[in-house]
Structure 1
Amino acid sequence: MARLNGPCCCKEVVLCYVKSAHRPPSLRMRKAPVVKMPSSLTLLLFLCLSAATPAALADSTIAVTNHESGSTVRYSVVLLEGTIPSDAGPLTIENLNAPEYAEPVRVVQHEGKFRALVELGKGRNRIRLSTEQQTEPLEFVLKYQLQTNPHYVRLIWMTDKSGDTTYATPTSDTPQDYENRLRTAALLMQCFTAERMNQLGYGHRTFRLERDRDGKVIVHTWAGGRTMEEYHAMPDDQFWWRDVYRWIDEEHPDPLAKNCVLAAYTRKDPATGQLKSHTALGGGNLGLFGSASVFSWPTSIGSAADTFLDESRFDSTQVHDDSVGRSTYWGLSSTTIGATLHEMGHTFGLPHTTDRYDIMTRGFDHFNRCFTYCDPVSGTNGQPIYFRPNQEAYFAPVSASYLRWSPWFQLDRPTGASTRPDIQLTDTGVTITCKSGIPWVGIHVGGDIHHHEEQDARRPPKKLELTFEQIREMVGGKQPSRLRAISTSGQEAAVNLPNG
């Protein structure tokens, strides 16, 4: 388990608001939520229709660079990013097959680049892209197909015994829409993961979220067995985590679920500043989080870009500031959604790493950078920060390579037999055997993973032998502490390595 400790724009960013074609007129005319946008940025907001891009056409045209037209994705909210002529004006994106609940698409543009989150309907999605300079719109096609993997992530809003679902907010008029906020955060984490896995060569692979018959992500609202006061009185968050773990296993058991649990009863005492029932801990089948920052999370996919560009401050005497000093809505939302994904990474089996931008380190502070081009003004920066691609949060290769083989990252129901590697220590090293093959081996130094070896996924070896000298060389001469191996069926084995 790991604990969360306390915890980019450019010269011009354009947000383009796009109407959805498949909603009744009354919904199409619905106003986008009003938020305070960064005054330090030149933000131009446009209300328009939209489309996406076919993959690279020509230097003078619009191009989607992270998806191919006609390809199939296995998750419902995709990030489209690409290039656009700098003089083309605002880009509009519209999914002609969008689900009824889809909001207008927000397009973020900067210096010839664009990013946009698009909600997909089941089956074929015709995504239209257009600008004022084009006489004919361009169309980009994505097919959305549900995963059949039985392993999934389950979202749970945990109340105390009374069933009170309310959560802490900085003002009394903040909406208590926990279902929308938790659902949106989960969809963003799923999309983020797919993008980062694809960038490292594993395809748009991600975990499955639990959905109802209509395809909507489910948020369970379940009451724990104790009062708020009893939860607040628990001696430490490790004790609390173990108590919730038992509650899940006894009241809502499911070996195929990784449980993302948000505690509604997190509260800050304004008089003492003490924060009660707040944590970020993950391991086994449970990621447990306090709800102190949920008020800052976007309420919908359509509002995500607004949230990650919102410089507004909040009253930290009423709510916890877990934004590493940024003290803004965008900073708080980025850090805490990123931290949620970090802890869920632990439930998938990921340890900490040494890569500063990995989600499994403090890279989770920069979760927002997947969806924008700048960090707006905050308590730690008086000017917008224009980041480079190598300064964005991601899953480091050592993390992504492990997730590739996790049972929770297989897109379809497994067909082969499940086998676990066998690891034996010898006088001179380690011998690993597995009937189905060994595609991945990782080596720890202390509690962090420092090195991994990927084998040919098409023909993974059934036996690997490593000497202790080879293992030490792999971690740069440091003292290795643990070796892990995973099979093609996602089963893992590990052994502690001897000192010396």
Structure 2
Amino acid sequence: MHNNKTHSHHLDEQSVADLPAHYRHGIHAVLVASLLALLAGCGGSSGEATTAPKPEPVQPVKPSKPASINVSNFKDNDTIRYSLPILAGTVSSEVKSVSITTTEKVYVADVVEGNFKAVIPLHVGANDISFSAGGQSGNIRINYVAADNPKKVRMMYAIAADDDGRFVAEAGMPNSMEDAKTRIALQALLMQSATAEMLYKGASQRVTYALVEDGYGKPIISTLRLPLTRAQLYAKTDNEIYQAIANALQAEPASSNFKNMVTMGFSSYQNGKIVGHAALGGGNLGIFGSLHLYACPASLDQLSASFGNAKKIDALVLPDDSGNRETYWAQCATGMGASLHELGHTFDLEHTPTGIMSRGFDNFNRLFMLREPGFAPVLTTQNEGGAVWDPISIPTLVNSAWFKR
């Protein structure tokens, strides 16, 4: 008998089974009706029946587009008047290198923390350069117009009257006069490129001087034979050596359109002492010794290895003019940078508080590299130390007749 006082709102299967048949049929009907009402009310808080929304069509997942490789210091279709631009850019930090393709060659540049630098030779005309690394890509066009400025820098190699032109080098290293000229020709291009890149950083104007070149656009390194022997030159002061070279130039075809940058092949190292070396510039003449050439590259392919060579200089055998850093890479950097410093004087630049016209020439390598032995920070274009033109120097250079846009 059903007792209302003990009524529970829960009926189990056995309880329903014990009821008379007409009760069981009624309960089932109530339950079905309640369930239908509940389902109809799921469409909203009002309890009114609503139509269930149609499911959104599933869109196929498209593969993400690979990130592009960006060149940060050149714009597409830029035009320059020198053949060896320094390209700097960014790429995914996961990759270790980037391939750079021109119509002539494929180059590989190291990537450090998502940054890369590369020195890429151009041919006259439009140069389409493509980049690829880890599924990423990029491209840029740089136009190279041969310099037509009649005012040029003439690179020269001075030798003594009794000299065959050999430069100081470690045993077994090729060091003939032709070997010297090969290294100086590359140095000339790097100095020219460095000048342009530093002016771009300091004045947003990528201008530089023109070089005396052959019909193939390669720097000509002229030989300047002095009327003095090595012994006579070694007995002279720096200023006297400068004057001896200036006097010898008077016998050369005169041209007011030349600035002469002379590397002294007769510089030597005797009994632990540097002789026949000087670093001076002004007027139409800059001079610097050849004692850095043993540490410098003979080809562009050797550039990174030379500026990354942490080998210690054996001062018992070879001269050390590295700014007290005592390593091959520093010897090369200081020699090239100091040569540009002396050439800067011929453009009427004075010494400055910072930059190349100070001791910043020791950082010449940083323009081309992302790493420096013994120096932890990455050498991005914003972190190249003294490899800049001081603001004092910039107006003189950009307004010079020797610098043409």
TM-score, normalised to structure 2, is: 0.79
1:99-152 Cα shifts (integer Å, max 9, x gaps): xxxxx6351321111100000011111112112324xx5332111101111111
Aligned to 2:167: 167
Give the one of 380, 392, 401 matched to 1:407: 401
Determine if contact 2:112/2:378 at 8 Å carries over to the other structure: no
Determine the C-alpha separation between the residues in 1 that align with 2:282 and 2:371.
32
2:370 aligned with 1:373: yes
2:79 aligned with 1:72: yes
Q: CA, structure 1 residues 83+387, in 2 after alignment: closer, same or farther (shift >3 Å)?
A: closer
Determine if contact 2:167/2:175 at 8 Å carries over to the other structure: no
Aligned to 1:468: none
Q: Secondary structure at the match of 2:329?
A: helix
Aligned to 2:57: none
1:52-89 Cα shifts (integer Å, max 9, x gaps): xxxxxx99321001111112111000111111011244
- The amino acid that maps onto 1:266 is S
1:414-458 Cα shifts (integer Å, max 9, x gaps): xxxxxxxxxxxxxxxxxxxxxxxxxxxxxxxxxxxxxxxxxxxxx
Aligned to 1:474: none
- The amino acid that maps onto 1:79 is I
- The amino acid that maps onto 1:115 is K
Determine if contact 2:163/2:229 at 8 Å carries over to the other structure: no
Question: Larger strand proportion, structure 1 or 2?
Answer: 1
Determine if contact 1:174/1:295 at 8 Å carries over to the other structure: no
Q: CA deviation at 1:241?
A: 0.5
Q: Secondary structure at the match of 1:375?
A: coil
Give the one of 94, 98, 112 matched to 1:91: 98
Determine the C-alpha separation between the residues in 1 that align with 2:89 and 2:378.
18
Aligned to 2:69: 62
Determine if contact 1:202/1:404 at 8 Å carries over to the other structure: no
Determine if contact 2:168/2:175 at 8 Å carries over to the other structure: no
Identity across matched positions, percent: 32
Aligned to 1:32: none
- The amino acid that maps onto 2:166 is T
Aligned to 2:194: 192
Determine the C-alpha separation between the residues in 1 that align with 2:116 and 2:130.
14
Determine the C-alpha separation between the residues in 2 that align with 1:66 and 1:202.
10
Determine the C-alpha separation between the residues in 2 that align with 1:187 and 1:106.
20
Aligned to 1:330: 329
Q: CA deviation at 1:390?
A: 4.4
Q: CA, structure 1 residues 171+384, in 2 after alignment: closer, same or farther (shift >3 Å)?
A: farther
Determine if contact 1:78/1:119 at 8 Å carries over to the other structure: yes
Which has the higher Rg, Structure 1 or Structure 2? Answer: 2
Aligned to 2:155: 155
2:112 aligned with 1:110: yes
Q: CA, structure 1 residues 70+266, in 2 after alignment: closer, same or farther (shift >3 Å)?
A: same
- The amino acid that maps onto 1:397 is P
In the alignment, structure 2 segments of 5+ residues that lack a partner are 1-64
2:82 aligned with 1:81: no
- The amino acid that maps onto 1:226 is L
Determine if contact 1:106/1:305 at 8 Å carries over to the other structure: no
Q: Secondary structure at the match of 1:119?
A: coil
Q: CA, structure 1 residues 224+347, in 2 after alignment: closer, same or farther (shift >3 Å)?
A: same
Determine the C-alpha separation between the residues in 1 that align with 2:295 and 2:227.
28
In the alignment, structure 1 segments of 5+ residues that lack a partner are 1-57, 99-103, 378-382, 412-500
Determine if contact 2:224/2:248 at 8 Å carries over to the other structure: no
Q: How many residues align?
A: 337
How do 1:435-474 and structure 2 match up within 5 A? none
2:318 aligned with 1:319: yes
Please tell me the root mean square deviation across aligned C-alpha atoms, in Å.
1.9
Q: CA deviation at 1:170?
A: 2.5
Determine if contact 2:353/2:390 at 8 Å carries over to the other structure: no
Determine the C-alpha separation between the residues in 2 that align with 1:106 and 1:324.
31
Determine if contact 1:64/1:83 at 8 Å carries over to the other structure: yes
TM-score, normalised to structure 1, is: 0.64
Determine if contact 1:110/1:373 at 8 Å carries over to the other structure: yes
Determine the C-alpha separation between the residues in 2 that align with 1:115 and 1:95.
15
Determine the C-alpha separation between the residues in 2 that align with 1:107 and 1:397.
31
2:268 aligned with 1:267: yes
Q: CA deviation at 1:373?
A: 2.1
- The amino acid that maps onto 2:74 is H
1:205-243 Cα shifts (integer Å, max 9, x gaps): 001111111211111123111111111122x11111111
Q: Secondary structure at the match of 1:207?
A: strand
Determine if contact 1:108/1:305 at 8 Å carries over to the other structure: no
Question: Larger helix proportion, structure 1 or 2?
Answer: 2
Determine the C-alpha separation between the residues in 1 that align with 2:70 and 2:306.
26
2:390 aligned with 1:396: yes
- The amino acid that maps onto 2:102 is N
